């Protein structure tokens, strides 16, 4: 007996819409960096998302929204909530999920939905954060990981990292830099979450223990 009590893996459900490179970064961190997390289910807003293949290759249960569900956000959100409850997810992690989550999910997982945004919130909210920052000519942009709430891209911020936009950077180069940083920071934040070190205080600001 080691005497050290082992914490149970934190169960998360992951939402995706596309390539799933952030999902892959989480899967890899679980495998190789002892990230104490179990991905209990991956749900995609699109049936052709490559992230679904990544999940299936990792042996993770998946499902995706069909056309009818996609066209009915309230029903889609209800399905997402019930699937994640059924899979016993403790948190929902959005990894490139390109739709707004409604109260049907947020009320079932209050302060338990985390989102990744490819800009320094509150700047460049919305679906084109990288491009909007690039086109605005700002010299600094970055990434934000935050709790999601009913106001789009506005929940309490957990972590941010900055990326410089150099004069010769193209949009593609900036996109690559942003993605590399996302793949590094998301697993780090999830590690803190799995260790119970992330909390929202009475002023609705995030406090990170240690
Ligand atoms: C990421 O840049 C994320 O910030 C944005 O969509 C992208 C998803 O990429 N919301 P992937 O599907 O994880 O490869």
Q: Where does ligand 1 bind, in terms of residues with CB under 6 Å? A: 16, 18-22, 51, 95-96, 116-118, 179, 182
CB-based contact 43:61 (threshold 8 Å)? no
| Helix runs in the chain, H state only | 21-32, 50-57, 67-70, 73-86, 103-106, 129-136, 171-194
pLDDT, position 151: 84
Q: How confident is the model at residue 1 (pLDDT cuts 50, 70, 90)?
A: very low
- State which ligand 1 atom lies nearest to the alpha carbon of 18: 12
Residue 5: per-residue pLDDT = 53
User: Is 117 labeled as catalytic in the residue annotation?
Assistant: yes
Residue 2: predicted pLDDT: 45
Average pLDDT of span 143-164: 94
Q: What is the pLDDT of residues 5-23, one digit of tens each?
A: 578 999 999 999 999 999 9
* Residue whose CA lies nearest to ligand 1 atom number 9: 96
- The minimum-distance atom of ligand 1 relative to the CA of 49 is 12
If you take atom 10 of ligand 1, which residue's CA is the nearest one?
96
Q: pTM score, two decimals?
A: 0.95
Cβ neighbours for 111, distance < 8 A, ≥ 6 positions apart = 147, 156, 200
Ligand 1 atom showing the smallest separation from residue 95 Cα: 13
Q: How far is the CA of 5 from the centre of ligand 1 (A)?
A: 35
Mean pLDDT of 72-100: 96
| Those residues with Cβ within 8 angstroms of residue 78's Cβ, 6 or more apart along the chain or in another chain | 104
| Candidates 117, 128, 146, 183; catalytic one | 117
Q: Which atom of ligand 1 is nearest to the CA of 51?
A: 12
**Distance between CA atoms of 141 and 120, rounded to whole angstroms?**
6
Going from the Cα of 149 to the center of ligand 1, the distance in angstroms, rounded, reads 19
Residue 210 predicted with pLDDT over 80: no
Mean pLDDT of 128-154: 95
Give the residue, by CA position, lying nearest to ligand 1 atom 8.
96
In the chain, pLDDT over 70 holds for what percent of residues?
Answer: 98
Half-sphere exposure at residue 193, Cβ-oriented, CA atoms within 13 angstroms: 28
Q: Which pLDDT does position 6 carry in this prediction?
A: 74
Question: Could you tell me the distance, in angstroms and rounded to a whole number, from the CA of residue 33 to the centre of ligand 1?
Answer: 21
Identify the pLDDT of residue 76.
Answer: 96
């Amino acid at each position: 007996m080691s005497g050290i009590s082992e914490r149970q893996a934190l169960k998360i459900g992951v939402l995706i819409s596309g390539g799933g490179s952030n999902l892959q970064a989480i899967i890899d961190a679980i495998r190789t960096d002892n990230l104490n997390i179990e991905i209990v289910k991956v749900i995609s807003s699109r049936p052709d998302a490559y992230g679904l293949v990544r999940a299936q290759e990792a042996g993770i249960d998946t499902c995706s929204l069909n056309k009818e569900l996609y066209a009915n956000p309230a029903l889609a959100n209800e399905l997402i909530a019930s699937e994640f409850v059924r899979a016993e997810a403790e948190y929902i992690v959005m990894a490139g999920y390109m739709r707004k989550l409604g109260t049907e999910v947020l009320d079932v997982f209050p302060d338990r939905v985390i989102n990744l945004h490819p800009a320094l919130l509150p700047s460049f909210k919305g679906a084109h954060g990288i491009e909007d920052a690039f086109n605005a000519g700002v010299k600094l942009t970055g990434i934000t990981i935050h709790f999601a709430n009913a106001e789009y891209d506005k929940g309490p911020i957990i972590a941010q990292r900055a990326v410089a936009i150099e004069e010769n950077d193209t949009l593609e180069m900036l996109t690559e830099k942003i993605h590399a940083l996302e793949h590094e920071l998301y697993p780090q934040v999830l590690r803190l979450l799995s260790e119970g070190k992330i909390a929202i205080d009475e002023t609705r600001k995030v406090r990170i223990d240690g």
